[in-house]
Amino acid sequence: MSSWPVNCLVLMYKSLIMKNITRRNFFNNAIKATVAGSVAIPYLFNGVKAMAQGSTEELLSSSASALQFSQIKLPYDYAALEPNIDATTMDIHYNKHHAAYIKNVNEAIAAENISFATEKEFFANASKLSAKARNNGGGAWNHNFFWQCMMPNAGGTPYGKIVSALDGAFGSVPKFKEAFTTAAMTRFGSGWAWLVKDASGKLVVTSTPNQDNPLMDTAEVKGTPILALDVWEHAYYLKYQNKRNEYVANWFNTINWEEVAKRLA
Ligand code: MN
């Protein structure tokens, strides 16, 4: 009887050899299993504690998978959107502004024990977040989205089903551009212009202040973002100074309509 663990190990070992797993892997895995066992204990303990307090939410929030924002790789070179957006602006915008939002939101998530599991859930609870978490979380997400709204040699003209979608919602593509430009131009101070699909599936143009976005429960117009334009001065001031109107007009040349079509699907 006393030799059964040894026999058991021998059997496991034999079966692993049959699966062509090396001896070294077997011992590594055995070590990992032991480590995993001891790591699991505090999580189990947290779970039990939450159950004792009788809250399902607390139990869920004790999960080890806290949300982390990460910065996407820029899908093109800094100079790729020239002459509409200059390389220096892209470099500073991506490496300084956006990188800082990412760093700061993750700091806030850790420091404030923010336990939302997904970005969607995070923004749906924006009204409950600290200013640091809300502003930097918005900044992190909005820029990841914004980089993908643009592409080199974009051509500037929507095509296919995008045209019929914009025609249906705004009357025509020029009328959509007019509505979007108005949203971008009338957003006082810093913020964003958006094309959004609202809860009823309707396409609408809106704008948000600061780093807010339409995913936030605080947004005037809520919905799924389809297209976004950053109208913070840091997005255009080096090249356009006070001429936001020229920046907005030229930005239309950079729109990645292929990506917009995917988001409309
Ligand atoms: Mn920005």
pLDDT score of 140: 98
pLDDT (0 to 100) of residue 102: 98
> Residues 217, 141, 172, CA angle at the centre, nearest 5°?
75
Q: How far is the CA of 166 from the centre of ligand 1 (A)?
A: 26
- Crossing angle of the two packed helices 161-170 and 257-264, in degrees rounded to 10: 70
- What is the CA(74)–ligand 1 centre distance, in A? 14
Taking the centre of ligand 1 as the mean of its atom positions, its distance from the CA of residue 63, in whole angstroms, is 32
Q: Which bin fits 165, alpha (ψ -120 to 50), beta or left (φ > 0)?
A: alpha
Q: Is the peptide bond before 83 cis (omega within 30 degrees of 0)?
A: yes
CA of 218 to the centre of ligand 1 (A): 20
Quote the CA–CA distance of 191 and 179 in Å, as a whole number.
Answer: 16
Give the pLDDT of residue 95.
98
pLDDT of residue 173: 97
Please tell me the distance between residue 164's alpha carbon and the centre of ligand 1 in angstroms.
30
> Residue 105 and residue 103: Cα distance in Å, rounded?
6
Rounded distance from Cα 230 to ligand 1 centre (Å): 6
Residue 65 is predicted with a pLDDT of 65
The Cα–Cα gap between 20 and 164 comes to 57
Compute CA distances 53 → 49, 57, 58, 95, 251, whole Å.
6, 10, 8, 44, 53
170 CA distance to ligand 1 middle (Å): 27
* Token pair of 63 as six digits: 């999960």
Q: Residue 227 C-alpha to ligand 1 middle, in angstroms? A: 14
| CA nearest neighbour of 137 among 80, 56, 68, 77 | 68
The correct answer on CATH 3.30.70.20 for the domain covering 83-265 is no
- Domain locations along the chain: 4-64, 83-265
Rounded distance from Cα 98 to ligand 1 centre (Å): 7
Q: Distance from the CA of 87 to the center of ligand 1, in angstroms?
A: 14
CA of residue 145 to ligand 1 center, whole Å: 11
Distance of alpha carbon 84 from alpha carbon 252, whole angstroms? 9
CA of 121 to the centre of ligand 1 (A): 23
CA of 131 from ligand 1 middle (Å) equals 17
What's the 202 CA to ligand 1 centre distance in angstroms?
A: 27
Amino acid at 180: F
Which regions of 76-230 does DSSP assign to beta strands (E)?
191-197, 203-209, 224-230
pLDDT, residue 187, reads 97
- What is the Å distance from ligand 1's center to 93 Cα? 6
Per-position pLDDT tens, the chain of length 265: 444 554 544 444 444 444 443 334 433 443 344 344 344 433 333 333 333 333 444 444 444 467 999 999 999 999 999 999 999 999 999 999 999 999 999 999 999 999 999 999 999 999 999 999 999 999 999 999 999 999 999 978 898 899 999 999 999 999 999 999 999 999 999 999 999 999 999 999 999 999 999 999 999 999 999 999 999 999 999 999 999 999 999 999 999 999 999 999 8
Q: How many CB atoms lie within 10 A of CB 184?
A: 23
C-alpha 232 – ligand 1 centre gap (Å): 6
Cα(52) to centroid of ligand 1, in Å? 45
Q: How many angstroms does the Cα of residue 101 sit away from the middle of ligand 1?
A: 10
Kindly state the tokens that stand for 203: 């396409």
Please give the structure tokens belonging to residue 247. 């920046």
The SS3 of residue 124 is helix
Q: Ligand 1 center to residue 25 CA distance, Å? A: 47
